[in-house]
Structure 1
Amino acid sequence: MKFLLVAVSLIGSALAQNIHIGAPANGSSIQVGKQFTVEVDRPNSLTGTQEVAIVIGLNACYSSTDCVPASEAIGSVLYSGPYDPQYTSDAGTTTKPPHQNFTVTVPDYIQTGRAILSVSHLSLVGAGPWPMFEVVNSSVVITSS
């Protein structure tokens, strides 16, 4: 019984550490050669977390029906480095979870059409700590400029 309680507690604290892509929204269009903002949200948690890094990638789908899963291929790396989510302090904005915005550019060489925008996230969780790695993604449409 104690094992089950500990397991449920660990799963709950791990889920509270998960990131989400706040922007662009799933299905959004982004233009070749243009900048766009990727908002990476991380809900607040009572469990201590030390952020290590994220990688933002964009991988074109070379078929109208199939895309390579984000966990298997990042594609073009748009950002690689530190992640430090914070609350927005602007007056009059809607309440958001801790997040960080990254301004990135769609590469000129990427194929237009469906693509997978992915964020790979590594953090250290808990007092131990233990490493947590995850990959989240959003489907976007790349258009010509």
Structure 2
Amino acid sequence: MKSILILLSIFFLTVHSQTITVLSPSSGSEITPGQDVTVQLAFGNSLTGVEHVSAVIAMINCAGAPCPIDASDSLGIPLFAGNYTPQYHEQNLPPYENFTVTVPGTLAAGTNMLTVAHFMLVGASAVPVLQFDNVTVSTPPSASSTRRETLIRGRTVYV
């Protein structure tokens, strides 16, 4: 019985030490609605066999309210869903893959959350594992939502 508990705890620690991480954009970065942003997803070195199945990148529109603590209940607006195949590119970074996504034009100004879900199979017995990561990002007010002063027929009008 003790050996089964030890084996399960080793498996648990191995799975949880291998996680997906959003390297870019970093937490607090400014992203502009309607623009493209490069999302860099990294996955640390693995001693156990891992088969990456897919990743989903999404955006939670916090709309002036506090963002959730994590994205395990809802990912938000999907920006990408598909294969995830991290590769080594630089010696000082873990394997990663870059994705270019378009930030929704309807994103509220303020703090919003970029979320990631990652599905993989771990070990020889192909244990299914679903992971989440997120970063909060800053969104400036769009040009159309800011008040501008315009002179029309000799009167100042705010639009």
Same-fold call, TM > 0.5? Answer: yes
**1:10 aligned onto 2:11:** yes
Listed as ranges, the gaps of 5+ residues in structure 1 are: none
Q: In terms of mean alpha carbon deviation, does 1-10 or 49-58 score higher?
A: 1-10
For normalisation by structure 2, the TM-score amounts to 0.82
Matched, 1:135 2:132: yes
Q: Deviations over 1:111-145 (max 9, x none)?
A: 12111110000000000011000111111111236
RMSD: 1.5
TM-score normalised by the chain length of structure 1: 0.90
Secondary structure (helix, strand or coil) at the match of 1:13 reads helix
- Deviation track 1:82-138 (CA, whole Å, cap 9, x = no partner) reads 00000005xxxx610000011111111221211111000000000001100011111
2:43 is matched with which residue? Answer: 42
Q: Which has the higher contact order (CA 8 A, sep 6+)?
A: 1
Q: 1:25-84 CA distances to partner (integer Å, 9 max, x unpaired)?
A: 1111100111111110100111001111000000111234x2244111211111100000
Distance 1:139 1:46 in 2: 30
Partner-residue secondary structure (3-state), 2:78:
strand
Aligned 8 A contact 2:64 2:110 in 1:
no
**What are structure 2's unaligned runs of at least 5 residues?**
144-159
- Report the residue type matching 2:133 in the other structure: V
Indicate the percent of aligned positions where both proteins have the same amino acid.
Answer: 36
